[in-house]
């Protein structure tokens, strides 16, 4: 917190302390290694991460609510073909797009989620609508799309989500699977997420994804699952996850981190590391999380070679990275 002191006509005046604010975001974790992408593409990713984190932090400074900031920053990433969410979503086995998202507010544990939608431009906006304008927590498939229309969302065609990069990824995935080879490295990574502490002291988390390349049978991962891919509780922290969703669901990763803080009294760093670097690693689960606590501390923890990530904590310290632990600025 910052206090400002002025002398005005011999009278000492002290401003009201600015409440702590903080923000963290991720754009997916996985086999992201230095030298595996061109310098131009790397710079494009860095610029996108920097713009998103800076915009979000500025909006928090202006006093915008955590919900508004989480949704608006995730929408920036949903609109970018760089990430596996919204416009850049991966393809299912049948060549379609099925998108998932969730959001949670830590004050009263309000939450909303949608899964398997094909005609919704901004899944995170619809997840918020579910939270605020329905008696439910999660809606899926055609029912979620009907609700979207009732809420005034204009449907988009599948062409909106189409990108050549993701189309080629599906071809490679199918070829590898049919040849009995290991799937391409990015087939299950690329989810986006944002966590914030706003000026009102509220913790909010949101996550949005296109899921897993080549997914079938209506597969749904952790991103729309409250407690697995997304969780926020003002008593502890806000968490958004990215990685191999089946493991994050089994280990209720997002809630586990918050529970370790709430009931074991450990720090955010200790809680996130125990879950991601110990429990998940022992189980064979790959991925990472971003998390923020009520003091404005932010952690970015992953057990993969890289994670697209950025943060600005309560002290104003800014971090931006793509590769391993020492890759920051």
| Structural domain count, the chain | 1
Please answer whether residues 242 and 29 qualify as being in contact, where contact means their C-beta atoms are separated by less than 8 angstroms.
yes
Which residues have a Cβ under 8 Å from the Cβ of 168 and sit 6 or more positions away?
none
What would the two tokens of residue 106 be? 């830590």
Please answer whether residues 13 and 195 qualify as being in contact, where contact means their C-beta atoms are separated by less than 8 angstroms.
no
Which residues have a Cβ under 8 Å from the Cβ of 313 and sit 6 or more positions away?
22, 292, 296, 297, 298
Comparing CA positions, the residue from 157, 72, 81, 73 lying closest to residue 121 is 157
Sheet holding 287-293, edge to edge: 230-232, 237-243, 287-293, 298-302
Q: What is the DSSP string of 152-167?
A: TPPP--GGGG--HHHH
Residue 74 β-bridge partners: none
The pLDDT, as a whole number, for residue 30 is: 86
In-domain check, residue 1? no
In-domain check, residue 8? no
What angle, 0 to 180 degrees and rounded to 10, lies between the N-to-C axes of helices 141-150 and 123-133?
80
Query: Catalytic positions, please?
Result: 191
In-domain check, residue 329? no
In-domain check, residue 114? yes
What is the distance between the alpha carbons of residues 94 and 165, in angstroms, rounded to a whole number? 16
Comparing CA positions, the residue from 315, 234, 257, 328 lying closest to residue 22 is 315
The pLDDT, as a whole number, for residue 327 is: 57
Comparing CA positions, the residue from 246, 190, 223, 243 lying closest to residue 117 is 223
Q: Residue 57 belongs to a domain with what CATH number?
A: 3.60.20.30
The pLDDT, as a whole number, for residue 5 is: 41
The pLDDT, as a whole number, for residue 184 is: 54
Residue count (the chain): 329
Q: Give the distance from CA 310 to its chain's centroid.
A: 11
The pLDDT, as a whole number, for residue 4 is: 40
Q: What is the DSSP string of 24-68?
A: EEEEEEES--TTSS-HHHHHHHHHHHHHHHHHHHHHHHTT--HHH
Comparing CA positions, the residue from 81, 91, 23 lying closest to residue 53 is 23
What is the distance between the alpha carbons of residues 177 and 234, in angstroms, rounded to a whole number? 44
In-domain check, residue 167? yes
In-domain check, residue 77? yes
What is the distance between the alpha carbons of residues 245 and 188, in angstroms, rounded to a whole number? 8
In-domain check, residue 13? no
List the chain residues with pLDDT less than 70.
1-16, 181-189, 325-329
Please answer whether residues 22 and 268 qualify as being in contact, where contact means their C-beta atoms are separated by less than 8 angstroms.
no
What is the distance between the alpha carbons of residues 310 and 241, in angstroms, rounded to a whole number? 14
Helix/strand/coil for 129: helix
User: For all residues of the chain together, what is the average pLDDT?
Assistant: 91
Its domain, for residue 32, covers 19-321
In-domain check, residue 308? yes
The pLDDT, as a whole number, for residue 190 is: 77
């Amino acid at each position: 917190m910052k206090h400002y002191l002025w002398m005005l006509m011999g009278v000492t005046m002290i401003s009201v302390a600015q409440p702590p604010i903080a923000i963290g975001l991720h754009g997916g974790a996985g086999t992201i290694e230095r030298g595996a992408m061109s310098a131009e593409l790397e710079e494009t990713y860095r610029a996108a991460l920097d713009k998103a984190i800076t915009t979000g932090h500025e909006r928090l400074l202006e006093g915008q609510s955590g919900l508004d900031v989480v949704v608006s920053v995730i929408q920036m990433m949903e609109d970018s073909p760089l990430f596996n969410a919204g416009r850049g979503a991966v393809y299912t086995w049948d060549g379609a797009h099925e998108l998932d998202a969730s959001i949670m507010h830590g004050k009263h544990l309000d939450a909303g989620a949608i899964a398997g939608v094909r005609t919704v431009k901004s899944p995170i906006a619809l997840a918020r609508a579910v939270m605020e304008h329905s008696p439910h927590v999660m809606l899926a498939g055609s029912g979620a799309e009907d609700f979207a229309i009732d809420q005034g969302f204009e449907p988009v065609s599948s062409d909106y989500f189409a990108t050549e990069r993701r189309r080629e990824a599906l071809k490679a995935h199918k070829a590898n699977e049919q040849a009995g080879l290991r799937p391409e490295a990015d087939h299950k990574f690329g989810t986006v997420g944002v966590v914030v502490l706003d000026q009102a002291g509220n913790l909010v988390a949101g996550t949005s994804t296109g899921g897993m390349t080549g997914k079938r049978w209506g597969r749904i991962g952790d991103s729309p699952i409250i407690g697995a891919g997304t969780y926020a509780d003002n008593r502890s922290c806000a968490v958004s996850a990215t990685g191999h969703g089946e493991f994050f669901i089994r280990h209720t990763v997002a809630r586990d981190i918050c529970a370790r803080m709430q009931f074991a009294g450990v720090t955010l760093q200790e809680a996130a590391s125990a879950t991601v670097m110990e429990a998940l690693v022992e189980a064979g689960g790959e991925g990472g999380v971003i998390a923020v606590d009520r003091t404005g501390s932010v952690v970015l923890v992953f057990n993969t070679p890289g994670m697209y990530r950025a943060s600005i904590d309560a002290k104003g310290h800014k971090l931006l990275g793509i590769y391993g632990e020492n890759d920051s600025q």
